[in-house]
Structure 1
Amino acid sequence: MHLFDIIVMAIGLAMDASAVSMAAAASGYAKNRRAVFRLAFHFGLFQFMMPVIGWLLGTGFVSYVRAVDHWIAFALLAFVGGRMVREGIAGPGDGLHRDPSKGLTMVMLSFATSIDALAIGLGLAVMDINIWYPSALIGIITCAMSVAAIGIGKRVGAAFGSRMEIVGGIILIGLGLKILIPSLFWGA
């Protein structure tokens, strides 16, 4: 997997965390540096850990699925991307009622926004790609995008949160097609 592909995948995965970060800032919860650090650090950490967990789970049965690995990677990316698009179109729910940068709420949000990365880790295992470099890049990009989203959320508000999720979903579906199409036509 090329660096460009990893960066595009990382940006797509970071959209959920960015949308949550932006909403938190727009709601007035990311007022100080500690809250900004907690949000960005936890989102980045979970986005780093979840692909590793998915990869570890996936490496045990790679030899059984090598013939259909491109279909598995496409299905996982399309599923995750489709879910992100659907949630983005549905728009925000009731809003945030608790400070999302503290306690169990922070852990639950970090886990929820990184479930997609677990599926990506599984897909990377199926494609026999070493997980450490992509996973580190996913975590770093998520952290950076969360900080940027908080800055935007403070200035602009939550108006673009669901749109970011749609863009992230489209990016993941496109990456899935980029994996599938060469395998179908050129056997790559």
Structure 2
Amino acid sequence: MLTIIEIFLIAVAMSVDAFSVAFGIGCSYNTPRHYFRLSWHFGLFQFIMPILGAFFGRILMRWVGNINIIAALILFYLAYRMMKESFK
């Protein structure tokens, strides 16, 4: 179970990420309707995605168990591919 500090740090990271993307996209629009729609959709997805992740994560946890080693290997592989591609 996550502590309150971990939940707060995740919330801050998600809000900074959403702010930067919304700011970049929002600079190209200039009507209040676009601002509202952009804010609404970002807020909605920032609310729904962690809930869906927790829900489906618990379901998958029953089938898979502790999958941290497989996840780490996948992340290392992706990092290796990204670094290899960046040096080309």
TM-score class, shorter? 0.5 to 0.7
Deviation at 1:45, TM superposition (A): 0.5
Larger Rg: 2
Corresponding residue of 2:58: 59
Superposition TM-score, scaled by structure 2 size: 0.57
* Alignment match, 1:40: 39
Q: How does 1:1-188 map to 2 (within 5 A)?
A: 1-27=2-28, 29=29, 31-63=30-62, 64-65=64-65, 68=66, 71=68, 75=72
Letter in 1 for 2:14: L
SS, match of residue 59 in structure 1: helix
Matched residues, percent identical? 33
Q: Return the structure number with greater relative CO, CA threshold 8 A, min gap 6.
A: 1
- For 1:25 and 1:58, the matched residues in 2 are separated by 32
How many angstroms does 1:42 deviate by?
0.5
Sort the Cα spacing of 1:4 and 1:34 in 2 relative to 1 into closer, same or farther, 3 A: farther
CA offset at residue 22 of structure 1?
1.2
The CA deviation at 1:26 is 2.9
Q: Which amino acid counterpart does residue 52 of structure 1 have in structure 2?
A: I
Partner of 2:86: none
Question: Residue type matched to 2:11 in 1?
Answer: A
* Distance (whole Å) between structure 2 residues aligned to residue 54 and residue 62 of structure 1: 12
* Deviation of 1:14 (Å): 2.8
Extract structure 1 runs of 4+ deviating beyond 4 A: none
Equivalent position amino acid for 1:17 in 2: A
In the superposition, relative to structure 1, how do residues 4 and 36 fare at CA in structure 2: closer, same or farther (>3 Å)? farther
RMSD, aligned CA: 2.9
CA distance in 2 between partners of 1:22 and 1:61 (Å): 35
Q: Structure 1 pair 60/14, CA: closer, same or farther in 2 (3 Å)?
A: same
Q: Is the 8 A contact 2:18 2:42 kept in 1?
A: yes
Unaligned runs of 5+ in 1: 87-188
